[in-house]
Each structure stands twice: as structure tokens, then as C-alpha cells.
Amino acid sequence: MVSRHVDIVDVARRAGVSPATVSRAFNHPSLVRADTRARISAVVDELGYIRNRAARSIHGKRSGTIGLIVPTVDNAIFSRLIQSFSDALNSRGFTLLLSAHGYDLGREKDLLRSFLEHRVDGIAVIGLDHENATFALIENRQVPAVALWNHDGASRMSCVGPENHHAGYLAARHLADLGHRRIGLLFPPTRGNDRAASRLEGAEALLAERGIDVPDRWRIEAVYSVAAAKRALIDLIGDGDIPTGLVAGNDVLAQGAVFAAAECAVGVPDRVSVVGIGDFSGSAEMTPSLTTVRLPAAEIGEAGAEILLELVRSQRRHPLIRRNLPLELAVRASTAAPPAP
């Protein structure tokens, strides 16, 4: 009972029309008479015919797929982005190809190649920092592309996101405005991660403006995980000399820091204030609730999809589109004025 797969010719034969008519019934319904269309539709259901997009896209038609390459899926903030990007795509009839490169820009290029083999109609990547080969691939192929998560007025490709530099700046400014002078920086490795790098630069810019110096022992590096951040901060607290304020590169790290403080009975915000970046799910609900710079993840995904599909539609010359999304500081319970010395 090995029924070969039914194709458009089978449908045509059974409906008593030519394959061309069946094809038209799908793609240009107005060109085929209503009763013919109905007959075809009935046969399609009867035979369980499913169109073959590969065969379609071979004709220079759209493949109907969009590729998204992220550093990692396993991170609350990208999850929300992926979700909204995917929803926006699906609602417009596109299918998402997804891959994660694990913060390895070399792998990113390979994944891009693989997506191009699949002839995706467009490409979305995270951030503006990529290998030259990656840019070259995109430019030579003239494939519509957009960078999510980072805005830069001088970017080499279309982009949509907030200014990460400004996010770091805002977070640090909040602490400085509260009167903190002894400030620590808890950031992930910035190699191959221009978002984190920009945030760090932004924080440092503000601190320099205010004449605040951050000693090396208060510059802490931890990979993106609550556990790693907690461990790193417990070490710092163990050393005795702790800052009164801490800027974390994102909310996962900030959460880890808060948990560490709780475990070491170091009051937040009484002894140390913590500010994060991201406003992940849970940050507002934890105790103490986390002060953070809200990144509009869902908006980025939606706007990114919109821009990308716009580029896909505009056949010829792809213009550069840049969209700057606003940041806002969410002041909650994890920050306060520094304790009296």
C-alpha cells in the first residue's frame, strides 16, 4: 500500500483539467472559472494533495521562508523576540528557519550559508557585529537582511532596536543620580557580542562623565546565566570590600546578583543597589523587584519582521532602513540611595 505521493498532475487528471489550470487555481484564482475551481478543490481534498514549495521556488518564486540567526535560544529575552518575530512572520504566511550560533560569529556565517542554500527570502541576525564574510555574503546575494536588537545610525545594514550604548548609560546614570560613587560592573564576555560591549561602554561613559572610577576588582565577568552570576557575586562579597551599586549587563546577571546578596544576607537595596538591563519576565515580580532598563523585545521582533518583509516586497534596490526603539528606565525596589558610610 505504498501510495506514491500525489502531485499536481494527479490532481489535474482526476479533475479533468490540465496541470496549468490547477496551478492557476492556487495562484491566480480569478483566472479560473468558479465551478472548475470548486471541482479542483474537491479533488485536492479527496487526494490529500499538498503543494510542493520547493518546486515552486525553483521558478524564481519566493520560497516563503525567512531565516533568523540568534546567538542562543536559551535566554529569556531572545525567547520573547523569537516569539514575536515568528508570530509576525506566520501571520503573513512566511515560515521561520531558526538557528543559534552560540556566540560564535564564525558559525554564524556557516549558518547563513546554509540558509542561503535554502533560498530564504530574507535574513535576520542579532546585532551589528559580524564577520566580513557574513556581510559580503549578504551584499553579494542581495538578500534582504535586517539586524535586530541594536540601533546604529551608521550601520552597514538595516537595523531595528534600541541604542544599547544608551541602555548602559541610563542604568549607570540612575545609580549615579542616587548618589552612588562606589559602583561595580557585572557583564558577560563582550567578544562577539556588540550589544553587551555597547552597554558596557555606555555605562563607562557615564561613570567617566561623573568622575567615578571603577577598580578592576569590581569589574566582574560572568556568562549569561543566573548561576554563574550568583557565584561570581558571592565571591566578590566574600572578599569583603563591596560596592554600593552594581550595574548588570542584563537582567539574568542582575537576578543572579540579587540572589547572591540574599544568600549572603547583604541587603538589597540597603547595602547594595542593583540595576539590570532587559526587563525579563520575572524581574518585576521577584523580591526585591528589579530596577532595570526595559528593552522592547516584542516590539523589536515585530518591527523587524515588518521591515524585512517590506524589503522582500520591494524587489529591486534594497534601501537601508533603520529604526530606533525607545528605552525606558523602570525604577523598582532594588535600587536606593547608598548607605551612609
Binding site for its own copies (CB under 8 A): 5, 48, 50-55, 57-58, 63-65, 72-76, 79-80, 82-83, 86-87, 90, 95-100, 102, 111, 113-119, 140-141, 225-227, 230, 252, 255-256, 259, 262-263, 281-282, 284-287
* Residue 257 contacts residue 246 (beta carbons within 8 Å): yes
Residue 89 CB, nearest distance to DNA (Å)?
A: 20
Residue 55: how many other CB atoms lie within 10 Å = 11
- The grid coordinates listed for 187 are 557583564
- The SS3 of residue 179 is coil
Of the ranges 24-32, 83-91, 175-183, 266-274, which one interacts with DNA (CB under 7 A)?
24-32
Q: What angle do CA 312, 315, 318 make, to 5 degrees?
A: 75
By CB under 7 A, name the one of 17, 89, 214, 236 that touches DNA. Answer: 17
Site for DNA in 188-217 (CB under 7 A): none
Q: Is 314 in the site for DNA (CB under 7 A)?
A: no
The item of DNA, its own copies, none sharing an interface with residue 285, based on CB under 5 to 8 Å by kind, is its own copies
- The grid coordinates listed for 172 are 549607570
**Cβ-based nearer residue to its own copies, 115 or 169:** 115
Q: Across the beta sheet with 273-278, what order do the strands follow?
A: 219-221, 183-187, 245-248, 273-278, 291-294, 328-330
Residue 310 CB, nearest distance to DNA (Å)?
A: 21
The item of its own copies, DNA, none sharing an interface with residue 203, based on CB under 5 to 8 Å by kind, is none
Torsion (CA) 207, 77, 256, 195 in degrees, nearest 10: -30
* Residue 67 contacts residue 100 (beta carbons within 8 Å): no
CA-CA distance, 160 to 323, in Å (whole number)?
Answer: 5
Residue 141 CB, nearest distance to DNA (Å)?
A: 12
**Cβ-based nearer residue to DNA, 36 or 190:** 36
**Cβ-based nearer residue to DNA, 19 or 189:** 19
> In DSSP terms, which residues pair with 161 in a beta bridge?
324
Site residues (CB under 7 A) for DNA? 5, 7-9, 16-24, 26-28, 31-33, 36, 49, 51-52, 55-56, 58-61
